[in-house]
Amino acid sequence: MVRIKNRYIAVQIVPYTPTETLRLNDHSLAKILLQNVQKYHGVYGLGMIEQGFRVKYINDRTKIAIIRCLHRGQRFVSSILPLITLIGDVRAKFRTLYIGATIIQCNKFIVSHQKQFLDRAMGQMTSAKERQDLFKRVMEFDMDR
């Protein structure tokens, strides 16, 4: 038996003009990424990553996504992320946060990343209600998809 190695790339989508939600689902994000891989690495690059490529998680509010790809095709994906300037019809860019070998490690990183963000943002909130809302929004992490 041959073990299939995957890589999980945690990315943050940073829109040019700050928006509440991205109106983007996992399928459309995967399609955009594959289109860009074909543009920059051609049919060969697309063929290398197409097997096993999937957007495992995307959060509209926190704008964080986890992309799964094969270990051998990881370079094709990570090298095009900084080159993307248009996601759908929105001007935005990708910030690569973390590349891990298991989705659990990726989750851990995202949770700690979000905690850091919360620490910074909580100070600016005035009421307890707002704080609770923010906490819920930021730490929302359902992986049911």
Partner 1 sequence: MSGYQYLDVKLKLRDPDSVTLTPVFLCGCILNSLTNIFGEIGGQTTLEIVKFSSTDKRFIFRVSEDFLKRVRIAISLIGYYQEVPCHFQVLSTSQKPLDFEATPEEFIAF
- Residue 72 as a binder of partner 1 (CB under 8 A): the answer is no
| Burial environment of residue 127 by CB neighbours within 10 A (0 to 12, 13 to 18, 19 or more) | exposed
Q: Residue 73: CB partners within 8 Å, gap ≥ 6?
A: 45, 48, 49, 52, 53
- Residue 85 as a binder of partner 1 (CB under 8 A): the answer is no
Least distance from partner 1 to the Cβ atom of residue 28, Å: 22
Amino acid making up residue 110: I
- Residue 35 as a binder of partner 1 (CB under 8 A): the answer is no
Least distance from partner 1 to the Cβ atom of residue 79, Å: 7
Which residue from 29, 45, 57, 65 is in contact with partner 1, where contact means CB under 8 A? 45
Site stretch for partner 1 (CB under 8 A), options 9-17, 31-39, 62-70, 137-145 = 31-39
**Residues 13, 14, 16, 22: is their CA dihedral positive or negative?**
positive
Site stretch for partner 1 (CB under 8 A), options 6-14, 40-48, 54-62, 111-119 = 40-48
- Residue 43 as a binder of partner 1 (CB under 8 A): the answer is yes
- With CA atoms as reference, report the closest residue to 13 among 80, 70, 59, 49: 59
Which residue from 41, 56, 63, 68 is in contact with partner 1, where contact means CB under 8 A? 41
- With CA atoms as reference, report the closest residue to 110 among 86, 91, 138, 79: 138
Residues that bind partner 1 (CB under 8 A): 37-45, 79
